[in-house]
Amino acid sequence: MDTLLVVAPVIGVTTLVACGIVRRTVDGGVGLLHLALQLMLECVGAAVIFMMVNAIIAASAVLLARLFTPWFISIYAVTDSILVTASFVQGFLFQVVWRSAGFRLDKRLMRVVR
């Protein structure tokens, strides 16, 4: 908790400074910042979906291994940090390919358009 109290204001200040620099130096900076925020949130959303699917599949594999083998595998193996990291990489790569292929989400109709 103490770390959060120190790190959060520092991150907030550096983010505000960076936004100010972009607004002053880049044409259409506010629009680009909005687009960057949108892309970041889409990547995080995709990563969370991958993380949930990966965790469900991993937990199912652990439970099946317990059922069909004599070995006891801890369910804590599913909570390894590599799962979170790999899921965020998957989400980022998926989002890059998705956007590169020209797909986007029409927010008014909540459907995928190309």
Instruction: Provide the 8-state DSSP code for 105.
Output: E
CA distance 85 to 47: 9
Tens-digit pLDDT profile for residues 2-59: 788 888 899 999 988 988 888 888 877 777 788 888 888 888 999 999 999 999 999 9
pTM: 0.71
Domain containing residue 27: 2-113
Residue-by-residue DSSP string for 62-89? HHHHHHHSS----GGGGG-HHHHHHHHH
Query: In this model, does residue 111 exceed pLDDT 60?
Result: no
| Tally of domains in the chain | 1
Pairing of strands 104-106, 111-113: antiparallel
Burial class (CB in 10 A: 0-12, 13-18, 19+), 91: buried
